Amino acid sequence: MSSPLRLGIAGLGTVGIGVVRNVRQKAQLLAARSGRSIEISAVSARTRDKDRGVSIASYDWEDDPVTLATRDDVDVFVELMGGSDGPAKAATEAAIAAGKHVVTANKAMLALHGHDLALASEAAGVALRFEAAVAGGIPVVKALTEGLAANEITRVMGVMNGTCNYILTRMQSSGLPYDDVFEEANQLGYLEADPSLDVGGIDAGHKLSLLASIAFGTQVDFGGVALEGIEKVTIDDIRQADDMGYRIKLLGVARMTARGLEQRMSPCLVPKKSPLGQLDGGTNMVVLEGDEAEQIVLRGPGAGMGPTASAVMADVIDIARGFRVSTFGRPATSLEAASPASTATAVPYYLRMALHDKPGALAKVATVLGDAGVSIDRMRQYRHKDATAPVLIVTHKTAPAALEDALAAMSRLEVLASAPVALRIESV
């Protein structure tokens, strides 16, 4: 058997300790599957003397992750600190410069600096792997770079943030409003220290930009992702979407068009009997569509110690085997700068509005929609006790520009009691 593959692990939070446990408890399995033993040489974290549930006393300690990344007895630098810049980026760059392979779970760093890091790693002849950065335990990066490598990818779509999916499905099952479920998720420890990373769609947008780079051969362009979070989704939206046969999901969609690369992360309606519609709790799902394989659906836990450590170790094992693949599935020098494009695809829309309960109000709304070329498929008006009438409309397929024109004209009618809510309905 070959010499051991030696790891240096920076970051001993949930995922880092999961990796330590995996290496310790599955030493024989890892060696059998990779053809060599996998060992930990040294570790680094913010605090040394902390009860992590597993002893790290047998490993060398480094206060500085950059020093850890450049040690002679480290073959693979495992970056699990997080953060788009700072120590994570500095240590990753140092590892690459020192000829070390890098495995990371850091989607924020890669979404902002992935292309430069890929260029550096490929020039240095070392691997930069990030399966754990996208969708936790789901092997979606390997699916795109390996299993679907012979496909022209036509669409990437999915639920990529377990916290948002928990909030939306909890609202659905409990009937509780957004604010109550948000606080519940916070108490359970599901939210990031900055909750906007989750509910604002930023975390999921990072992941979508990485998958889009692999799928469409472009440089990572997080800035080109149109972001809209779930903060405005109400319990009324949840109930009324259900009444019309839909579920609301924070859905990422990326596709290449003649105008450029569309990337968006926003609340959408999906048929409740579809795979995405049936996705509950903190689970993730990614749908990949290719010209040869057609539609592939991948479902699994999007976070947690075991699933994410599993993804980290999958990359480590590939390196131990000597398997190499370009960071984004093709040489970084060949990746083209993405030309961002807003979506122009015509889809049905869900519209929720509250109208002043006066004669002719609904007729005026229908006229405005018709004048803009927006055709109504279904419409419902719900019982009400006050002077505002809740109205729900589902349109036929409509171009986004036509809907925007209709909403702008509608706002000038003085029949709306509040701003209307418009959500796309995605086919799955």
- Over residues 195-210, the pLDDT tens digits come to 999 999 999 999 999 9
Q: Is residue 217 scored above 80 in pLDDT?
A: yes
What is the structure's pLDDT at 358? 84
**pTM over the 0.85 mark:** yes
Q: DSSP class of residue 398?
A: B
Q: State the pLDDT confidence band at 342, using cuts at 50, 70 and 90.
A: confident
Helix (H, G, I), strand (E, B) or coil at 53: coil
| Model confidence at 418: pLDDT above 90 | no
> What's the pLDDT score for residue 383?
73
pLDDT, tens digit, for every residue of 378-407? 998 877 667 788 899 999 999 999 999 999
Q: In the prediction, which pLDDT does 27 show?
A: 95
Residue 332 has pLDDT above 60, yes or no: yes
What's the whole-number average pLDDT of the chain? 94
- pLDDT for the residue 1: 54
How many C-beta atoms surround the C-beta of residue 268 within 10 A?
26
1-39 as b/e: b if 16+ CB within 10 A = eeebbbbbbbbbeebbbbbbbbbeeeeeebbeebebbbb
pLDDT digits (tens, 9 = 90+) for 26-49: 999 999 999 999 999 999 999 998
142 is catalytic: no
Which pLDDT score, from 0 to 100, does residue 182 have? 94
Both tokens of 147, joined, read 């299993």
Comparing 99-108, 186-195, 286-295, the range with the smallest average pLDDT is 186-195
SS3 212: helix
- Which pLDDT band, with edges at 50, 70 and 90, does 263 fall under? very high
The active-site residue, picked from 89, 107, 207, 249, is 207
Distance CA 84, CA 113 (A): 8
- Ranges of beta strands (E only) in 189-326 are 226-227, 246-257, 260-271, 283-290, 294-301
Calpha distance 358→409 (Å, rounded): 19
Amino acid 267: pLDDT: 97
CB atoms within 10 A of CB 97: 14
Nearest to 413 by CA among 374, 361, 376, 377: 361
Contact 308, 105 (CB under 8 A): yes
End-to-end CA distance of the chain: 47
For each of the domains in the chain, give its residue range(s) and CATH number, in order of start.
2-133 (3.40.50.720), 140-302 (3.30.360.10), 349-425 (3.30.70.260)
**What are 277-327's pLDDT values in tens digits?**
999 998 999 999 999 999 999 999 988 899 999 999 999 999 999 999 999
pLDDT at 172 exceeding the cut of 90: yes
Is the pLDDT at 24 greater than 90? The verdict is yes
